[in-house]
Amino acid sequence: MGTKLTGKLQRGRNKRVINHQGYGLKTNQQAMASEYTVHLSKDKKLKKLIEQNGVFTLKKQKNVCTWLCASIMSQQLSAKVADVIYKRFLNLYQGIEPTPEQIIATPPETLRSIGLSNAKVSYVQNVARFTVEQGMDHRKLHKMNDEEVIEYLTQIKGVGRWTVEMLLIFALRRENVFAIDDLGIQNAMIALYKLDRTDKKQFREDMLRVAQKWSPYRSYACMYLWRYKDNAPPLKKT
């Protein structure tokens, strides 16, 4: 069951809105039955958010390449516009998720016609080409730890660390990812834990110190922090 969250996520000067599958919400009555909620509830700040929002679940996405392409397409767009463009994208392939080979074979002008910028056309085809030439299936990525996946996929021009961190959480179901550069996470931690971002180095150290106690479930902690005052990106089924 997908849950759509309202709000925009901004990183640095760029607003990035991303669509995901697999962000499920169970009932509040089930919250304390979850192993990770028991662990995270040791933090009184998170315990309150857990009680308010219930239990989140993650599931793996079959087509990592398409998920990453959709993520790139949605950046700097509202959820509504991103939905429209992604549907247009699928319609180029009779409403079915295309293979990487099909994406590569699609003329750039055709991709631009659905509302993609020149840069996004290039980035989407970069992802497809990398998938064909290097591989991006679950079997390959499963052998890598989180940092290795980040290093591997950020080789692709147009794919940054934050994008891969979102992929780790929402497509690969990695449970211990801490998106330290995410502005929504930063804002929530400033408000909840009284952190100060004046000194950027100290701020990052303070964030890591607080987040250390959430391990090995930092991905779920991020999901609760995103729910704090609608700091989350809109998440929905693609």
Active site residues: 182
Cβ proximity of 174 and 220 under 8 Å: no
Element housing 56 (H / E): strand 56-57
Q: Could you tell me how many helices (H) and strands (E) the chain has, helices first?
A: 13, 4
Write down the H helix ranges in 20-175. Answer: 35-40, 44-53, 64-74, 79-91, 100-105, 108-112, 118-133, 138-142, 146-153, 161-170
d(CA 17, CA 205) in angstroms, rounded, equals 27
